Amino acid sequence: MDTSAFFDRAPTLFPGDPQDTDPIDPYWDQVKADVTGFTSSNELAMLNLAAEIMPADEAYLEVGTFKGRSMCGTVRDNSDKVFYAMENFLEFGMAGQEARAELMDNLAKYGKGADVRLLEGDCFALMAQKGIIDRPVGVYFYDGEHTLLAHYLALAVVEPLLADEALVLVDDATWPVVQRAHRLFLERHPGWTIDATWDAKSDDDPRWANGLHALTFRRTGPTVLKGRDEWLRRYQVHLQNRLNRVAWKAATKFPGVMKFGARIIMGRSRAIEQKQD
Query: How far is the C-alpha of 150 from the C-alpha of 184, rounded, in Å?
Result: 12
Dihedral pair phi/psi, residue 172, rounded to 5°:
60, 25
Nearer to ligand SAM, 18 or 73 (CB): 73
The rounded distance, in Å, linking the Cα atoms of 230 and 217 is: 20
- Rule CB under 6 A: say whether 52 interacts with ligand SAM: no
Residue 39 interacts with ligand SAM (CB under 6 A)? yes
Q: Which is nearer to ligand SAM, 218 or 241 (CB)?
A: 241
69 versus 81: smaller Cβ distance to ligand SAM? 69
Q: Is 91 a residue that touches ligand SAM (CB under 6 A)?
A: yes
Residues that bind ligand SAM (rule: CB under 6 A) add up to a total of: 21
Alpha helices in 127-226 (DSSP H): 148-156, 176-188
How far from the centroid of its chain's Cα atoms is residue 105's Cα? 21
Phi and psi torsions of 192, nearest 5°: -110, 140
Q: Does 42 sit near ligand SAM (CB under 6 A)?
A: no
Q: Please answer whether residues 146 and 262 qualify as being in contact, where contact means their C-beta atoms are separated by less than 8 angstroms.
A: no
Minimum distance, C-beta of residue 126 to ligand SAM, in the bound complex (Å): 7
Query: Distance (Å, rounded) from C-alpha 109 to C-alpha 248?
Result: 30
Beta strands at 192-198 and 212-218: parallel, antiparallel or unpaired: antiparallel
Task: Indicate the residue among 121 and 191 with the shorter CB distance to ligand SAM.
Answer: 121
Task: Check residue 210 for interaction with ligand SAM (CB under 6 A).
Answer: no
- Check binding of 122 to ligand SAM (CB under 6 A): yes
Nearer to ligand SAM, 13 or 90 (CB): 90
Which of 219, 234 has the CB closer to ligand SAM? 234
State the Cα–Cα distance between residues 211 and 275, nearest whole angstrom.
13
Among 3, 42, 78, 88, which residue sits at the site for ligand SAM (rule: CB under 6 A)? 88
Helix axes 41-53, 27-34, angle to 10 degrees: 110
| Rounded Cα–Cα distance for residues 96 and 118 (Å) | 14
Binding of ligand SAM at residue 103 (CB under 6 A)? Answer: no
Binding mask 139-178 toward ligand SAM (x if CB under 6 A, else -) reads: ----xxx---------------------------------
Binding segment (CB under 6 A) for ligand SAM, from list 17-25, 137-145, 157-165, 259-267: 137-145
Among the residue ranges 48-56, 118-126, 161-169, 192-200, the one whose residues contact ligand SAM (CB under 6 A)? 118-126
CA distances from 246 to 49, 91, 143, 233, 241 (A): 38, 11, 21, 19, 9
Binder of ligand SAM out of 46, 90, 158, 214 (CB under 6 A)? 90
Facing residues of 140 across strands?
61, 168
User: From the centroid of its chain, how far is CA 184?
Assistant: 19
Give the binding site for ligand SAM (CB under 6 A). Answer: 37-39, 63-66, 69-70, 86-91, 122-124, 143-145
